[in-house]
Structure 1
């Protein structure tokens, strides 16, 4: 980052006349962390940052030079409700705030404005379990057909990796071309090797084949294209794990030709467990869906099969 832009970022952090609630937007624009106009995800990101800037103003804390007890200091902005009538901040909101602040410090570190990310090792809370219903098998088929018709191989590949092979959001983010063996028709996740279903293999081959007309929608042009050190990844435009969820939401939200609306990675993976027709013994089935522990796989599959769907399936009507 040029020195004049670094000075401007410093000014926004330290300007006493700039309201704390306005600082996240000014700084995020300089760091190319938000787009113009702001998306729904940008607004949520900025909202999650505001408690830290407000608490910094109240305590005269310099966020560019966080104190030694920064994790202790963070307890207040992480857990303080921002809406009247809300007595407690849930774990998911606390985690979202921590992730937003970590994303900000990552950008600051990449531009030489801080030496390290002080939130990198901040423990996260246990996510709150949602009783939300799973998408029905019929709805997911509509989504697959719609993604195929729109010729969006990146969205289709991400969808299929989660639904057909049980990829987690972290596994999608970490997925490299070195992990795919097209000759053996296998895919590797750490020590686990799974067979590539024909539809997954087909869409990955399409992504692997150079096509000047194919634009990767995961690449954030406002951030300068591919993220640093992401060459060789199947989804090089994803800058952090949380963007897997965002990209899937964008690809499957209402208005994309679907009847049920957007899905998230965790519930899509459970729906995949519910719908999977796996071959071989239980150990082989578990590895096919990314599990090392056969017992954990069996429990997860049985749990997924008992979950209600958010739309009535054709068979259940």
Structure 2
């Protein structure tokens, strides 16, 4: 016989149901229990956006209600894993996944299951602003090390931005027909740049993959056959794996102007006035963030 005190309050029953569903990695039950209004999107979309997170969490035995200290770093893997087909994901898909998980945790706080959101401090991928702080050299080196170990294409792209201040649009428009591997010369939008030894070495595996200099040049193949969204998505994931703050591509370019101030032609500038102006702008951002530091 049940005593009056044995009956759970409806809110407690929902909290218990949600907790059990999390222990079982039962995303369908979680989404259905919370509902469309609380999650601000169709349940099918919630399932699509979070499927990889729950699948990988179960495989790795990650407690999604009480995540480990490296949770944000771990998330980079499942969040960037496609549900089907090859990757990488579009930046909008990555952003949707991050936002959906954040909203899910907010709903759990409303339900009384959690008191804090484990997604607090996790950046939306690909967000860039002109006032973004210029990354520390140590973080850039760690990013390059991570990219080199995982993706020759990403490593080469980041190396060209870091060494020669490429803008994304110019970088992704490059073709092998504009590069001479014998001399390291590259025809850019406004000038001819002799690439650094590091940049030339970074391009070697890509040129080999493209069929070698004769074939790639004759066919005028693109050096980086990816979209800006793909590049930003790969960069975002690499930053998470490297366990460093997100480094926007624009901030990496400004860091190049800071770290290699003597390379006017190598940075794609055809006249000293434009180059000096870019240096001043980069310097102002550095100085502003120095003043803002406590």
Normalising to structure 1: TM-score of the pair?
Answer: 0.48
- Residue 44 of structure 1 deviates from its aligned partner by 3.6
Change (3 A) 1:249 1:128: closer
Q: Flag the structure with more relative contact order, 1 or 2, with Cα contacts below 8 A and sequence separation at least 6.
A: 2
Alignment of 1:152-231 (within 5 A): 152-210=151-209
Shift of residue 234, structure 1, vs aligned partner: 1.2
Looking at structure 2, the residues matched to 131 and 43 of structure 1 have their Cα atoms a distance apart, in angstroms, of 23
Q: What SS does the aligned partner of 2:166 have?
A: coil
- Aligned position for 1:234: 223
Indicate yes or no: 2:93 matched with 1:42: yes
* Larger-gyration structure (1/2): 2
- Contact 1:158–1:248 at 8 Å: present in 2 too? no
Match of 2:277 among 296, 299, 310: 299
**Structure 1 residues 289 and 43: CA distance shift in structure 2, 3 A:** closer
Q: Which residue of 1 aligns with 2:136?
A: 136
Task: Name the structure where helix makes up a greater proportion of residues.
Answer: 2
Cα RMSD, aligned residues only: 4.2
Alpha-carbon distance, 1:144 to partner: 2.2
Aligned partners of 2:152 and 2:206 also within 8 Å: yes
Normalized against structure 2, the TM-score is what?
Answer: 0.51
Q: Which residue number corresponds to residue 237 of structure 2?
A: 250
2:52 alignment partner in structure 1:
none
**Structure 1: tracts of 5 or more residues without a match:** 1-20, 29-33, 49-95, 97-126, 213-229, 279-284
Deviation at 1:274, TM superposition (A): 0.2
Unaligned stretches of 5+ in structure 2?
1-40, 49-80, 100-125, 212-218
Q: Distance in 2 between matches of 1:277 and 1:128?
A: 23
Question: Contact 1:35/1:42 (CA < 8 Å) preserved in 2?
Answer: no
Inter-partner Cα distance in structure 2 for 1:141 and 1:309: 21
